[in-house]
Amino acid sequence: MKLDVHVQLKEQMDKTIEALKFEFGTIRAGRANPSMLDKVRVDYYGTPTPVNQMAAVAVSEGRILTITPWDKSSIHNIEKAIAESDVEISPTNDGSVIRLVVPQLTEERRKELAKKVSKASETFKVRIRNDRRDANDEIKKMEKAGELAEDEAKKALDEVQKITDEYIKTIEKLTTEKEEDIMSV
């Protein structure tokens, strides 16, 4: 039995998984990756603008990220935004291109990043559980209003739990992959 509640729940949980993937993409793993800069906003004529909307961001030589601004006058603003961000890499500017050299991770730093991944994972699991609670509340309301029979409501609640378990497993899989990525670099 597919209820609107189930469809909405899956849509909401899909958004949560996408947000987790975005979050994990911003955690560097010892390799240059353009998504490291996804959270960096540059003050561009009074508007906070993502770096990738102001410049070409590319990986060169594996551990070097190059940022080539389309508007050369914004190079100092981009450099400043990166320096002040949580990217934790000092940018170098040659007047036309900004370079970020991603250092090799120390064992201690890998462990810190793995903890950060684990913490993010738990946060997103809580979001999934909150979505489950909201769906369960909706089903119980429908049962109380007479829109669902008791056995239909029970099946619907079981389906919500099944969907939740599926998404929690997805989060755990993504977390394991990211932690392995960090620890193996």
- Claim to verify: residue 9 and residue 43 sit in the same structural domain: no
Number of domains in the chain: 2
- End residue of a domain, out of 46, 68, 101: 101
Give residue 167's pLDDT. 95
Nearest to 128 by CA among 16, 6, 34: 16
Domain that holds residue 113: 4-28+106-184
Q: What CATH number did the domain enclosing 156 receive?
A: 1.10.132.20
The rounded distance, in Å, linking the Cα atoms of 57 and 45 is 20
pLDDT tens digits, 116-130: 999 999 999 999 999
pLDDT tens digits, 25-38: 877 666 777 888 88
The rounded distance, in Å, linking the Cα atoms of 37 and 17 is 20
- Claim to verify: residue 15 and residue 53 sit in the same structural domain: no
* Contact of 40 with 57, CB cutoff 8 Å: no
- Is a pLDDT exceeding 80 seen at residue 1? no
The rounded distance, in Å, linking the Cα atoms of 176 and 165 is 16
